[in-house]
Amino acid sequence: MVLNEVDKFLNELEKAELEAPGGIATAQTYAQLLAVYLYQNDLCNAKYLWKRIPCDLKGSSSELAQIWVVGQRMWQRDWPAVHVALNTEWSEDVADIMAALKDNVRERAITLISKAYSSLDLIVFASMTGLTLEEARRVAIERGWTVDGTMVQPSKIEKEESNLASEVCLTEDQLYKLTQFVSFLEN
């Protein structure tokens, strides 16, 4: 699967689920669909998918259950636990998606750290990003952050020339997510 074509792949998986004989898709289809929802940070659809997967499939597919553990940790925003859950040997059906998800979660955590912290311990930074201490130190230095012993002082990530159009898109994206959450809560 090429991650550049995630939307197309997602549509194919959703179609495969809807057109499955007997209304029940294969564990592989559900695993890939759940992984793509997590990759897109679409936690509401991931949760709905988990609820509609038949119990016998949930019990028979350990990989499907492990993907859902990742989703639960993402829902709880427990980033160290997300990285622990992602450190699993995945089948080739979902390995690319889960590796890309791991990179996305790491980048999101680094962005959040740069916005929220003026300084933090290297161990905390490493656990929030799923890196070893040496990797965390290297990443912090590569980003131009100050590393003094075991303390990291992040600097804010500069936005590339943001124009009004991208700000409007951001607002529309936020409105879409808000609509999804409200719809989720009402149903």
160 burial type by CB count under 10 A (0-12 exposed, 13-18 middle, 19+ buried): exposed
Chain centre to alpha carbon of residue 45: 13
pLDDT band at 4 (very low <50, low <70, confident <90, very high): low
Contact 106, 140 (CB under 8 A): no
Q: Are 137 and 130 within 8 A, CB to CB?
A: no
For the ranges 1-15, 20-34, 127-141, which has the lowest average pLDDT? Answer: 1-15
Residue-wise pLDDT for 13-72, tens only, equals: 889 888 888 888 889 999 999 999 999 999 999 999 999 999 999 999 899 999 999 999
Mean pLDDT over the full length of the chain: 87
| Distance from C-alpha of 45 to C-alpha of 14, rounded to nearest angstrom | 11
Q: What is the CA radius of gyration of the chain?
A: 19
Q: What is the pLDDT of residue 161?
A: 42
Find, among 73, 80, 23, the residue nearest to 52 by Cα.
23
Q: Where are the beta strands (DSSP E) in the chain?
A: 120-121, 146-148, 151-153
